Amino acid sequence: MTKSRPPFLRNFFQGRDAAKKKFIAGTISPLVLYMAFWTIFPLLWGVALAFFEYSPRRVGGFLGFGGDNPFIGLQNFQSMTNISPDAPLQIQQFHTGIKITLLFAVIIVPLNLLLSLPLAFLIESVHQRAKNIYRTLFFLPVLAPSVGVAIMWGFIYHPQRGLLNAIIGKFAGKLIGINWTGDPNLTVGTTVYFPVFVPGALFSIGDTHAVQGLGEVSGTAMEAPMRIVYRISVLESARTIEEVQYETDSYYATTGFAETIDEAARKATRFMVDHLVETRGLSREDAYMLCSIAGNLHIAEVVDVPHMLVTMHIPKSIFLDRDEK
**299 and 217 in a common domain:** yes
**284 and 196 in a common domain:** yes
Length of the chain in terms of residues written: 325
**20 and 125 in a common domain:** yes
**301 and 256 in a common domain:** yes
Where does the chain have alpha helices with state H?
7-12, 18-35, 41-49, 75-79, 89-103, 109-124, 128-157, 163-172, 261-280, 284-294
CB 314 within 8 A of CB 276: yes
Number of Cβ within a 10 Å radius of residue 53: 14
**227 and 137 in a common domain:** no
Q: Which of 58-67, 154-163, 227-236, 310-319 has the highest mean pLDDT?
A: 310-319
pTM (2 d.p.): 0.47
**122 and 261 in a common domain:** no
In DSSP notation, 200-241 reads T--------EEE--TB-TTS--EE------------TTSPP-
Q: What's the mean per-residue pLDDT of the chain?
A: 81
Q: Which domain holds residue 271?
A: 191-318
pLDDT surpasses 70 at 317 = yes
Alpha carbon distance 168, 165 (integer Å): 5
- Select from 98, 127, 154 the last residue of a domain: 154
- Select from 104, 137, 154 the last residue of a domain: 154
Alpha carbon of residue 142 to chain centroid? 24
Q: Give a yes or no: residue 225 inside a domain.
A: yes
User: 281 exposed, middle or buried (CB, 10 Å; 0-12, 13-18, 19+)?
Assistant: exposed
Q: What residues contact 265, with CB distance under 8 A and at least 6 apart?
A: 256, 297, 310, 312
**144 and 14 in a common domain:** yes
Q: Give a yes or no: residue 170 inside a domain.
A: no
Beta-bridge partners for 258: 308
**233 and 110 in a common domain:** no
Alpha carbon distance 247, 314 (integer Å): 9
Alpha carbon distance 84, 112 (integer Å): 34
Q: What is the pLDDT of residue 201?
A: 83
Q: Give a yes or no: residue 166 inside a domain.
A: no
Please tell me the total count of domains within the chain.
2
- Select from 102, 129, 154 the last residue of a domain: 154
Selected residue with higher pLDDT from 18 and 33: 33
**150 and 29 in a common domain:** yes
> pLDDT for 184-227, tens place per residue?
888 888 899 988 888 888 888 877 888 888 878 877 788 888 88
Q: What is the pLDDT of residue 3?
A: 53
**202 and 141 in a common domain:** no
pLDDT surpasses 50 at 325 = no
Q: Give a yes or no: residue 180 inside a domain.
A: no
> pLDDT for 137-168, tens place per residue?
777 766 667 667 777 777 777 665 677 766 76
Terminal C-alpha separation, the chain: 58
Number of Cβ within a 10 Å radius of residue 301: 25
State the average pLDDT over residues 239-267.
91
**137 and 21 in a common domain:** yes
* CA dist 307 → 85, 242, 266, 284 (Å): 70, 16, 14, 27
Q: Give a yes or no: residue 175 inside a domain.
A: no
Alpha carbon distance 295, 52 (integer Å): 80
Q: Give a yes or no: residue 165 inside a domain.
A: no
Q: Taking the alpha carbons of 90, 92, 94, 100 in that order, is the dihedral positive or negative?
A: negative
